[in-house]
Amino acid sequence: MGKPPTLYSFGDASELASAVRKYVLSQQHAALERHGVFRVGVSGGSLPKTLAQALLAKSSSDDDKAQFSKWEIFFCDERCVPLNHEDSNYKLLKEELLDKIPTEEFGQPKVFPVDEKYLDDVQEMADQYEKTLVSTFAARDSVKLPLFDLLLLGCGPDGHTCSLFPGHPLLRESDAWCLSISDSPKPPPKRITLSLPVVLHASKIAFIATGAGKKEILKQILESEDGRALPCGLVNEGAGDKVSWFTDHAAVEGVSFPRRSSL
């Protein structure tokens, strides 16, 4: 590993949410300065809830709020199910965050869900999502990889992130931006996911992991040789100090990796 990631840990959900807010808004600010748009990849699982708590909080100044009208939101992974299905990451984000944005105050983000037309063909769904990325991030032949301003990732109890699972051959994919998986060990089995090279190329990467259920895997990822080979560990290894981990104390109990309690 080059420079190590930064590990933040907070006592409760509201402290964690305000730190995530501060971090995301500082990445928003940097992206808007760079190119006038904030391109974000979001995950499903437990993340959208924390994200909503972070971003929907009232603020007193214009400088300190999410300028959603300048956001382009993509999915780090998605399940191959209808967009209104219980397992859909889009549905989760919509219910937790998108539907709750007071758009007259914050504006409306541009959201890029998967195309339901391809539910019967998961490879085609991945190819089409890659085309969506191509048309947003410039032609495939002119940029080697899409450059997300920020990827917001989860960490499963097995160390998976996006729909990149431990030991899965998809971890070795070096060309495609967007991959399909038909044998996900966590249901549902059919999904699409950003590839590891795309994840590693992002300007910034933030993991959000909370609760005692994550403490064993975080210890492994942050402290053991084996953990470095897990998908989350590979992100730490490959992206180094572009990576920040936002956790609560329960998730890092017993973890000796140095941690910070403020940004």
Instruction: List residues binding ligand LXAUTJHC (CB under 6 A).
Output: 43-47, 76-77, 89, 154, 156, 161, 163, 186
Calculated CA dihedral for residues 114, 120, 126, 132, nearest 10 degrees: -40
CA 44-37-148 angle, 5° bins: 50
Residue 46 CB, nearest approach to ligand LXAUTJHC (Å) = 4
Q: How far is CA 44 from CA 38, 97, 137, 180, 229, in A?
A: 19, 12, 22, 16, 22
CA 125-114-73 angle, 5° bins: 135
Smaller CB separation from ligand LXAUTJHC, 46 or 220: 46
Residue 214 CB, nearest approach to ligand LXAUTJHC (Å) = 7
Supply the angle between the helices 13-35 and 47-55 in degrees, to the nearest 10: 80
Residue 36 CB, nearest approach to ligand LXAUTJHC (Å) = 28
Residue 89 CB, nearest approach to ligand LXAUTJHC (Å) = 6
Smaller CB separation from ligand LXAUTJHC, 76 or 255: 76
Are the C-beta atoms of residues 217 and 176 closer than 8 Å to each other? no
Smaller CB separation from ligand LXAUTJHC, 65 or 130: 130
Smaller CB separation from ligand LXAUTJHC, 47 or 234: 47
Pinpoint the alpha helices (H) of 167-230.
196-201, 215-223
Residue 179 CB, nearest approach to ligand LXAUTJHC (Å) = 13
Paired strand residues for 164: 161
Smaller CB separation from ligand LXAUTJHC, 65 or 214: 214
